[in-house]
Amino acid sequence: MDEQNEPNIPHPKRLLVSLCAVLMLSVMNGTMFNIAVPDIAKTYQLMPSEVSWVMTGYIMVYAVGALTYGKLADYYPFRTLITFGLTIFAVGSLFGFFAQNYGMVLVARVIQAVGGAMIPALVFLAPIRYFPKTRGKVLGIVSSVMAFASGIGPIAGGFIAGFLDWRYLFLTSAMIIITLPFLRRNLPQEEVNKGYIDYIGAVFIAGFISTLLLGITLGISWIFALTVLFFGLNLWRMRSIKEPFIPPHLFKNGKYRSTIITSFLSITCLFGMMFMLPIMFRDSYHLGTMAIGLVLFPGAISAALMGQKGGSLVDSKGNTFVLYLAMTLLAVGFFLLSMIVGANQFVVSATIIVAYMSFPLVQASSADILANLLEKNETGVGMGVFNLLNFVSGAISGAVIGKTLDLFNPSQPFNWLGFNGDTSVYSNIFLGFSLIILLSMTQFYLFYNKKEISYKRPVSQQ
């Protein structure tokens, strides 16, 4: 990377390394605790519904925070937000390490989420703001780090919890604070931009997202009534003031809307695969935690290797070309998995690579498309919506797949090329993923190139 080509940054390479390091530790923090949930339940004698709050509470606050930090990034310097976020995250991690009861563990996870939500929001905005000439390449690197960390997180979590204790996961997460001096040293000095922030709208959005995630993850139907209420309040707020928290004209832009939908459906299927594979290898292949991690490791490595190449393709071939390539790989990969599950575990491991390597391609190309569509003063909130939907997609895919695995146990797959037996349900889900990707690609093709109807942007409130 040519350090002379990027504006306002004394050392671009050092900044990129610092951003990747903090993202790696942040993503690993989330996936490591998936492994620790049974140990936490055993420590405090908890029911599954009770211990699930370790993840539910974290995801809920994290999703709302990712959008909020994105909005704040339009007005406040990155240095300020990163200092606040990492400090709060480290405090929450240390609080969790010394927790004496389950209530303190939950409080620690919420504090972690309040600070940690800053990381993906700003890490995905940094390439747009600080690396405009090599944006695609940098987004590819960032996306590959995120995919790789998602893959090795369970391995690291199993190792730490197995050889030490699950509390040391908190202590490991606290190490993220060591990246703060490097980030502050390499981020440029920026001033606060004056602007109006709709805090009432932010509360309504937080209520909508929180109740939606609670309803999905806990399976409580009456909570969705509150979701509908908050959704209505959001619509009213967006139409009643000049500068709402999320500008409604973002969703009137067909290209923005179709890109968001495509990314959401793709990431839903990818997160669904990541959620489902450990369950499949445990129940159908009878593998232990470490063995599962090793079987999934080649996919994580492939994502890391593909990210930088995919980012360069975004710059050289164009973001839509890379998105179509990623969607094609995903559709093919999921269809192959629908054929292969039930075969030898190493054959499945090799096949996973085809789908897994698409993770950074989808994120890098989608983020680059959105960056081109957004006005400079709306980049933060526009990318915040992108990050928000990524986290919501994880909650939705986990809840839907979990319920599907509970209710269905076919002996034969829909894919006549697949294996009969207890892996049939996984074959059917992968086939469904493949069809969702094809539908997503079709809607992107139809609506992204559709002629736009002009609209008038709201006048800024002074």
Provide the token pair at 318.
């164009």
Residue 2: the pLDDT is 44
* CA count, 13 A, side-chain hemisphere, 437: 30
- Please indicate, yes or no, if residue 169 is contained in any of the structural domains: yes
Residue type at position 145: V
Tell me, yes or no, whether 19 and 93 share the same domain. yes
Residue 139: the pLDDT is 84
Residues 256 and 462 sit within 8 Å (Cβ to Cβ): no
Residue 8: the pLDDT is 61
Instruction: State the Cα–Cα distance between residues 422 and 407, nearest whole angstrom.
Output: 13
* DSSP output for 95-143: HHHT--SHHHHHHHHHHHHHHHTHHHHHHHHHHHHH-GGGHHHHHHHHH
- The pLDDT tens digits for 373-388 are 888 777 888 888 888 8
Tell me, yes or no, whether 134 and 237 share the same domain. no
* DSSP output for 48-107: HHHHTHHHHHHHHHHHHHHHHHHHHTTTS-HHHHHHHHHHHHHHHHHHHHT--SHHHHHH
Cα-Cα-Cα-Cα dihedral of 98, 101, 104, 109, to 10°? Answer: 80
Name the domain boundary from 229, 244, 259: 244
Residue type at position 240: S
Tell me, yes or no, whether 108 and 125 share the same domain. yes
- Please indicate, yes or no, if residue 432 is contained in any of the structural domains: yes
Domain of 274: which CATH number?
Answer: 1.20.1250.20
**Domain tally, the chain:** 2
Tell me, yes or no, whether 135 and 219 share the same domain. no
Beta-bridge mates of residue 343: 341
Cα angle at 317 between 313 and 319, to 5 degrees? 80
Beta-bridge mates of residue 341: 343
Provide the token pair at 36.
């620790």
Residue whose C-alpha is closest to residue 130's, from 305, 319, 25, 1: 1
Tell me, yes or no, whether 229 and 249 share the same domain. no
Instruction: State the Cα–Cα distance between residues 103 and 192, nearest whole angstrom.
Output: 37
- The pLDDT tens digits for 321-355 are 989 999 999 999 999 999 999 899 899 999 999 88
Tell me, yes or no, whether 390 and 435 share the same domain. yes
- The pLDDT tens digits for 40-77 are 888 888 776 677 777 777 877 888 888 888 888 888 88
- Please indicate, yes or no, if residue 167 is contained in any of the structural domains: yes
Residue 451: the pLDDT is 62
Secondary structure element (H or E) that encloses residue 337, with its range = helix 319-340
Tell me, yes or no, whether 217 and 112 share the same domain. no
Give the domain extent around 250.
12-186+245-448
Residue 53: the pLDDT is 78
Residue 19: the pLDDT is 87
Residue 339: the pLDDT is 92
Counting as low any pLDDT under 70, the low residues of the chain are: 1-10, 48-49, 289-290, 308, 451-462
Name the domain boundary from 224, 244, 264: 244
Residue 98: the pLDDT is 92
Residue whose C-alpha is closest to residue 209's, from 370, 26, 68: 68
Residue 91: the pLDDT is 94
| C-alpha 425, offset from chain centre | 26
- Please indicate, yes or no, if residue 53 is contained in any of the structural domains: yes
- Please indicate, yes or no, if residue 4 is contained in any of the structural domains: no
Tell me, yes or no, whether 174 and 203 share the same domain. no
Cα angle at 121 between 140 and 301, to 5 degrees? 35
Instruction: State the Cα–Cα distance between residues 296 and 78, nearest whole angstrom.
Output: 35
- Please indicate, yes or no, if residue 1 is contained in any of the structural domains: no
Residues 455 and 345 sit within 8 Å (Cβ to Cβ): no
Buried b (16+ CB within 10 A) or exposed e, 70-98: bbbbbebbbbebbbbbbebbbbbbbbbbe
Tell me, yes or no, whether 214 and 297 share the same domain. no
Tell me, yes or no, whether 281 and 387 share the same domain. yes
What three-state secondary structure class fits 151?
Answer: helix
Q: How far is CA 100 from CA 47, 96, 176, 394, in A?
A: 18, 9, 23, 30
First to last CA, the chain: 40
Instruction: State the Cα–Cα distance between residues 161 and 151, nearest whole angstrom.
Output: 17
Instruction: State the Cα–Cα distance between residues 49 and 52, nearest whole angstrom.
Output: 5
Residue type at position 35: I
Residue whose C-alpha is closest to residue 437's, from 181, 288, 246, 263: 263
- The pLDDT tens digits for 235-264 are 999 888 888 888 888 888 888 889 999 999
- Please indicate, yes or no, if residue 191 is contained in any of the structural domains: no
Tell me, yes or no, whether 93 and 157 share the same domain. yes
Residue 48: the pLDDT is 60
Residue whose C-alpha is closest to residue 359's, from 139, 67, 153: 139
Residues 284 and 426 sit within 8 Å (Cβ to Cβ): yes
Tell me, yes or no, whether 101 and 211 share the same domain. no
Residue whose C-alpha is closest to residue 143's, from 24, 6, 34: 24
Residues 336 and 391 sit within 8 Å (Cβ to Cβ): no
- Please indicate, yes or no, if residue 166 is contained in any of the structural domains: yes
Residue 264: the pLDDT is 92
Residue 21: the pLDDT is 87
